[in-house]
Amino acid sequence: MKNTVKKICALTAALSVAAGVLAGCADKDGGTTTETQTQTEAVTEMTYAEIDAIYAEKRTEYNTALDMSDYPLTPNNVSADYSAVYEAEDGTFSEGCRLEESGGVIYVAGPNQQSDTLAFKVNIEHDGFYDLNFISKTDNTARVNFAAVDGEKIGEIGCVEAGAFTDSWLKNVYLTAGEHEISIIASWGYMQYDRLELTCSTLINDDTYNITASLSNPNADDRTKRLYKFLCDVYGKYSLTGQFADEGRKSSEIEKIRNATGKEFAVLGLDVSGYSLCSVANGSDSNTVEYAYDWYINGGGIVQLCWHWTTPVEYCVNDQSNPWYSSFYKEGSKLELDKIMNGEDQAGYDLLMKDIDAMSEQLARLRDAGVPVIWRPLHEASGGWFWWGNCSAESYIKLWNVMYDKMTNEHNLTNLIWEWNGQDPTWYPGDETVDIVSYDIYAGNHVYTSFSGTFAECVESSSERKLVALSENGCVMDPDNVMRDNARWLFWGTWSDPFTLKLGVVLNEEYTEKDLLIKAYNHERTLTLDELPDLKNYPLD
């Protein structure tokens, strides 16, 4: 059982805290004298080495000590033929909404401002899982609002294409028996709602967490296969704790989380933006590869890499409002991906290929060092705020698959587990080039719901069963909700400042309160760094 493992890990956790104190001293006292700094760093390095040695000794035991038996899904008590309809005009709505009629359909236009809401009072007879369908339309594309139950946000609903009233689903939403208020809260606003339909949800079942698909790269190396096997084994049973921390084990996030919870996260999130050719040309000197190496080889952890891909120099706006280092945003880039991918801009295509080649060289350093990574390029594409999403879904998918082909077949990167994070199923590049489907959620302050509807959308993105992860988040989810709602995200990846730290100095409770953070890191159904098995030798059978 995991509780047993927690007791086994008491010594390593204590040493880890000691290392954090020493590391904090090194940061505070480093400016006194060179001799003092050198001595402190030597002690800190030695302490980390001692911890690593203990981890290495214990992790072989964890290969068998961790409880890998199935964790039962929450049963669904809803009748299979259940159906209920709630008209928008019968709901309650704020002054920012208004009744309109078109083609004989009466609907509510809005909410448009973040203070606006449209609410439906629903009566639920049985505890269980429901599919919520918000029949809606928009005059614009890619409009998204939040849905909430009794004031708590549970997911996003939206329309991708402008036009007639159509479905907008949130599936696998757990509701207890009784009266609830299901509301729509403005995010981007400017949508029109006809009605809410509730039916029994049958999407999530035991097979959801039974991953039989092999890695997309049949030539993946041994350690990558072992990591993937571990991820498949824990999926549905545990969630891996995760955090973005730009300086690896030197990061303040580790120290502050450790001091608060007594634990360290299992999945380290890093950004490889500093290796983009534009970044290098402007003086970037990144150590991300070294941090990734240290986290896996010495610390025994898991690495997730994303790429805020700065635009090739020739296509940078690079003015006062849009400096080169923000050229991954569409406003800072002159790239037109539709033209590039349909052959109208060969120069732009060639520059992107050079950047992929340069990034492949960095990833090859990790391959050669025996470090597998969860690779998440071209993220949040359908949102349209990055240059690689300022295009059609077709052009994005072409770029994804070109990158996959170059990195896999040309550069022989056998250490990548490909994580897709397009945020919209219509942007999915295909099962043959994806290993993990993920989503990024920034829902506001103290939002601890499981976002089970979003999880369900990720499940449905693929025609075969894939791992589903929360690749970025603002608030840490309550693990009790994650398990109860059968929305068992493989891992989470909390962004750093301001979602974890305030000004990079203190733990910021504006998004996740300390008590919830402690609960999440010490929950029996989450795994922290000290509880990982020996991933380098994790059994394949």
Spell out the SS3 assignment of 260-308: HHCCCCCEEEEECHHHCHHHHHCCCCCCHHHHHHHHHHHCCCEEEEECC
| Cβ atoms 172, 201 nearer than 8 A | yes
pLDDT at residue 421 is higher than 90: yes
| Cβ atoms 380, 442 nearer than 8 A | no
Give the CATH number of domain 83-200: 2.60.120.260
Sequence spans of domains, the chain:
1-67, 83-200, 206-537
69: CB partners within 8 A, 6+ apart: 237
| Cβ atoms 156, 382 nearer than 8 A | no
pLDDT tier at 47, thresholds 50, 70, 90: low
Give the CATH number of domain 206-537: 3.20.20.80
pLDDT tier at 160, thresholds 50, 70, 90: low
Radius of gyration of the chain (CA): 24
pLDDT tier at 222, thresholds 50, 70, 90: very high
Q: What percent of the chain has pLDDT over 70?
A: 89
Q: Indicate the pairing of strand 302-306 with strand 152-159.
A: unpaired
Report how far residue 260's alpha carbon sits from residue 273's, in angstroms, rounded to the nearest whole number: 30
Report how far residue 9's alpha carbon sits from residue 396's, in angstroms, rounded to the nearest whole number: 45
Collapse the DSSP code of 540 into the 3-class scheme (helix H, G, I; strand E, B; otherwise coil) and give the result: coil
| Cβ atoms 134, 184 nearer than 8 A | yes
Q: Which two tokens stand for residue 123?
A: 């009566």
**Mean pLDDT in residue range 32-59:** 53
pLDDT tier at 245, thresholds 50, 70, 90: very high
Residue 414 identity: T
Residue 445: HSE in the Cβ half-sphere, 13 Å Cα cutoff:
4
Report how far residue 360's alpha carbon sits from residue 383's, in angstroms, rounded to the nearest whole number: 26
List the single range of 74-78, 155-159, 308-312, 499-503 with lowest mean pLDDT: 155-159
Tell me, what's the pLDDT at 37? Answer: 38
**What is Dmax (Cα atoms) for the chain?**
81
| Cβ atoms 246, 274 nearer than 8 A | no
Q: Which two tokens stand for residue 217?
A: 């790269």
Residue 431, CA distances (Å) to 150, 213, 377, 423 in order:
37, 9, 16, 15
Tell me, what's the pLDDT at 191? Answer: 86
